[in-house]
Amino acid sequence: MSAAVSRVVGYMPMPASFSHKETFLHGRPQHQRLDDFLIRHPPMSTAHRAKIFAPFDALRGFDFCIMSKEVQYTQRRELSDAEKEQLDHQLGVLRSLTYNGRAVRENHPAARVTYFEPCTDPENFAYGKGGQYKTITGFVSKVDILIRRSITIDGRDISLDTVSEIAII
């Protein structure tokens, strides 16, 4: 049997009846520097070759849809009277620190606000029923208690109706 096997092809021994034995034994083709074939087909870089076999997103947006379904939603909880009083006190303090532009520049008020954001995905079971609590920390530039009922943190307006906790930093 060892007479029938002459070389190894990949990880297997080459059978004696291998039809492309002579071609295989010649090895890889060697081209001249200015060979016509080499000019038309230059060697590919390893980085470019790796891109060919990289995975691609066949269903565009499918991963995002799957991730949006994994978000954990909760029911909005009602604040107790003590929590509402604490929230009103914190809003009053922030309002006194941000009553005009000059006060904002002098005081540089910062706060951490926890608020409830309802589910906006109509395909989700929590749409209209649940949401999630989010926390934002940053520079408070405006507190509007009377007209818009909002607090502006780092340029983002948050409705006071959704705020559950404020911590002044």
Q: Write the pLDDT tens digit of every residue in 26-71.
A: 887 777 878 888 888 888 888 888 888 777 777 888 888 888 778 8
pLDDT of residue 153: 95
Look at residue 116 in the predicted model and tell me its pLDDT.
96
Express each pLDDT in 149-161 by its tens digit: 999 999 999 999 9
Residue with tokens 């954990």: 72
pLDDT, residue 1, reads 44
Q: From the CB of residue 88, how many other CB atoms can be counted at a distance below 10 Å?
A: 13
In degrees, rounded to 5, the angle at the alpha carbon of residue 165 between the alpha carbons of residues 130 and 119 is 20
Single out the residue of 62, 75, 161 nearest to residue 113, CA to CA: 161
Separation CA 14–CA 21 (nearest Å): 8
